[in-house]
Amino acid sequence: MPKPRLLFMGTPEFAVPALKGLARSGYPVIGVVTQPDRPQGRGRATAPPPIKILAEALGLTVLQPARVRDAVFLETFRALAPDMVVVAAFGQILPKEIIHGPRLGCINIHPSLLPKYRGAAPINWALIRGEEKTGVTIMRMDEGVDSGAILLQEETPIGTEESFGELHDRLANMGEELLLIALAMLQTGTLRPLPQDGSLATTAPRLTREDGLIRWDAGVRNIVSLIRGLSPLPCAYTFIGGRKLKVFAAAAEGSAIAEKPGTVAGETAAGLRVAAQDGYVLVKEVQLEGKKRLPIGEFLRGCRIAPGQVLG
């Protein structure tokens, strides 16, 4: 049986393993749709998305529509006439024609155990909310937000110190493996879609700048979960002397506190102790606005933070 002609839609690093897997497995990828090049980094120089770089290296046709709903792109889509569309963190809402037009439909790789964490930032929110497990779902897309029928799903425990960056990479690789299994099963007719139970749905909305602000009057475990869930990007932060201080790594210390939340209680070998609601946060790695990212010991050699100083 010939493999289906695929149109791949994805943009960030999360989508890279999936496209690599399709190419390695011999699937005919007739085009790759990704977001336009955008300014990135501190210098704001225009740069291509990771999927464009990979697609060009593989010799694949790249399309970068500003809006996939535009008539010009939809005309191109009709001309390509893919058997199936595969989506991985593309970044735009798809119109009905793309979702329902292909002969074999449109499937999506979503990094959560749907129906939990529907939305744009499921990995971040699973960590922020202290989940002990997550996973990857291959779903058939419909017109809702991550509400389509589940084709395959795989669960994985979340490491007690695992950061967003580490979990992101693990789930991206899991997504590739699960996608290839799902495609093989779809071809043989052995995959049975399972409708989601909407009553169990939770959301994972796009992160805002305010979501990253550390509120020291929260519980220690909540603060550490926030830091893990946003490291290395977009990164949790506080303020010191009016300057933004990003916090990349921290641990919890549950001892009784004597200081008000946000107060620095001194430095130990484990990190900078900062009082929270029910214990201390041991800050381990930081970056002061305009400076390099550093382990806390090295940072404190160049920027003294005295006990009693208040962050936030």
What pLDDT, in 10s, does the model give residues 88-147? Answer: 999 999 999 999 999 999 999 999 999 999 999 999 999 999 999 999 999 999 999 999
- Residue 168 and residue 48 share a domain: yes
- Residue 126 and residue 18 share a domain: yes
Please check whether residue 310 lies inside any domain of the structure: no
- Residue 175 and residue 271 share a domain: no
Whole-number average pLDDT of the chain:
96
Please check whether residue 171 lies inside any domain of the structure: yes
CA angle 275, 280, 285 (to 5 degrees): 100
| Mean local confidence (pLDDT), 72-90 | 98
> What does the pLDDT read at residue 269?
86
- Residue 163 and residue 41 share a domain: yes
Q: Check pLDDT > 80 for residue 198.
A: yes
Please check whether residue 195 lies inside any domain of the structure: yes
Which of 172, 200, 228 is a domain's end point?
A: 200
> What does the pLDDT read at residue 306?
92
The CATH code of the domain that includes 280 is 3.10.25.10
> What does the pLDDT read at residue 268?
87
**How do residues 212-268 score in pLDDT, each as one tens digit?**
999 999 999 999 999 999 999 999 999 999 999 999 999 999 877 889 999 999 998
Contact 30, 5 (CB under 8 A): yes
Q: Check pLDDT > 80 for residue 43.
A: no
Q: How many domains does the chain have?
A: 2
- Residue 223 and residue 154 share a domain: no
- Residue 217 and residue 106 share a domain: no
pTM of the model: 0.96
Cis link prior to 234 (omega < 30° from 0)? yes
| Mean local confidence (pLDDT), 195-213 | 98
Residue 62 corresponds to which tokens in the numbers above? 């790249």
Measure Cα distances from 284 to 159, 165, 281, 295 in Å.
Answer: 18, 16, 9, 6
The CATH code of the domain that includes 22 is 3.40.50.170
- Residue 140 and residue 102 share a domain: yes
Domain housing 215: 209-302
- Could you give the dihedral angle defined by the CA atoms of residues 111, 115, 120 and 121, in that order, rounded to the nearest 10 degrees? -60
Which of 266, 208, 280, 257 shows the shortest CA–CA distance to 237?
208
> What does the pLDDT read at residue 291?
95
CA angle 133, 195, 113 (to 5 degrees): 10
- Residue 154 and residue 244 share a domain: no
Please check whether residue 1 lies inside any domain of the structure: no
- Residue 48 and residue 17 share a domain: yes
- Residue 278 and residue 215 share a domain: yes
Q: Check pLDDT > 80 for residue 41.
A: no
